[in-house]
């Protein structure tokens, strides 16, 4: 890489780290930049996954206050995320690179609708529970575990807008605030990226220069994203999630 390409990758890593912490979809920034430097698609995807792991951890640390009292939830969902991320990483090397092209925009679109309607859906579900005398499962139940496993398969495979899928699932099935849900999303994104990264270290080709540049940038960006994201009111945060998701759909369908 030239010095300018290295600066571009570092800048993209910083922006991706911040975006991933706030909502997700940082891959939509780093992946095209890596391709522009001349890396093959699979090598770029693997290098990106490895580089974003420190950023995910950094973002999770930045949200540590919102993680208090959620240890059991994180451990429960973390198992599904770990298994799904490993399956997705295996599929990345086994399937054609365009295998998910048709379904991913549809998944993101459905997730955006759920994020948009979540306050109304949540209120309606709560009224129904009160009428029936039941309570929400504290960790989302089997439905959330299955949903997370499937979403994490996609996360291990590519990961663009993975955070949007996570937030929509938890927003629909958990009775909690959006900021606390976002905190869990950051931890579980780190789990998926981490397990995929460990797998890729042994079986896939990657570019160490790109990995280091994105790792350093995303670590810085993760702290920036945590400071910004934690201050956003729920309505604004929801709007950011929807805006990023729409951009993701456009980029994935028009590429």
Q: Which of 73, 25, 79, 55 is nearest to 243 (CA)?
A: 25
> Per-residue pLDDT tens for 74-114?
999 999 999 998 998 888 778 765 666 666 677 667 767 76
Q: What is the pLDDT of residue 103?
A: 66
pLDDT score of 14: 94
Q: Which ranges of the chain have pLDDT less than 50?
A: none
pTM of the entire structure? Answer: 0.78
Distance CA 112, CA 118 (A): 10
Question: In the numeric block, which tokens belong to residue 199?
Answer: 């797998």
Q: With pLDDT > 70 as the criterion, what percentage of the chain qualifies?
A: 82
pLDDT value at residue 80:
92
Output the CA torsion 193→198→200→202 (10° steps): 180
**Structural domain range at position 176:** 3-254
| Dist CA 242 CA 82 (whole Å) | 26
Q: Given this model, what pLDDT does residue 236 score?
A: 80
Burial letters 28-47, b for 16+ CB under 10 A, else e: bbbbebbeebebeeebbbbb
Task: Identify whether the C-beta of residue 29 lies closer than 8 Å to the C-beta of residue 12.
Answer: yes
> How many structural domains comprise the chain?
1
């Amino acid at each position: 890489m030239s010095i300018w390409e290295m600066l571009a990758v570092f800048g993209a890593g910083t922006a991706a780290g911040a975006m991933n912490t706030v909502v997700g979809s940082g891959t939509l920034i780093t992946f095209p930049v890596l391709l522009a430097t001349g890396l093959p698609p699979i090598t770029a995807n693997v290098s990106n996954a490895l580089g974003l792991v420190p950023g995910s951890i950094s973002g999770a640390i930045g949200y540590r206050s919102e993680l208090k009292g959620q240890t059991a939830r994180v451990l429960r969902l973390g198992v599904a995320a770990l298994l799904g991320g490993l399956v997705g990483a295996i599929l990345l090397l086994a399937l054609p690179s365009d295998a998910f092209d048709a379904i991913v925009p549809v998944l993101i679109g459905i997730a955006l609708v759920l994020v948009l309607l979540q306050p109304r859906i949540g209120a309606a579900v709560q009224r129904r529970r009160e009428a029936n005398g039941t309570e929400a499962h504290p960790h989302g139940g089997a439905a959330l575990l299955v949903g997370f496993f499937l979403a994490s398969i996609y996360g291990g495979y590519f990961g663009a807008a993975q955070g949007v899928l996570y937030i929509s699932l938890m927003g629909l099935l958990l009775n909690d605030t959006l900021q606390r849900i976002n905190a869990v999303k950051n931890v579980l994104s780190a789990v998926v990226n981490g397990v995929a990264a460990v797998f890729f270290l042994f079986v896939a080709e990657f570019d160490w220069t790109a990995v280091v540049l994105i790792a350093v940038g995303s670590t810085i960006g993760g702290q920036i994203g945590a400071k910004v994201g934690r201050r956003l009111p729920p309505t604004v945060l929801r709007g950011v999630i929807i805006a990023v998701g729409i951009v993701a759909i456009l980029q994935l369908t028009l590429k």
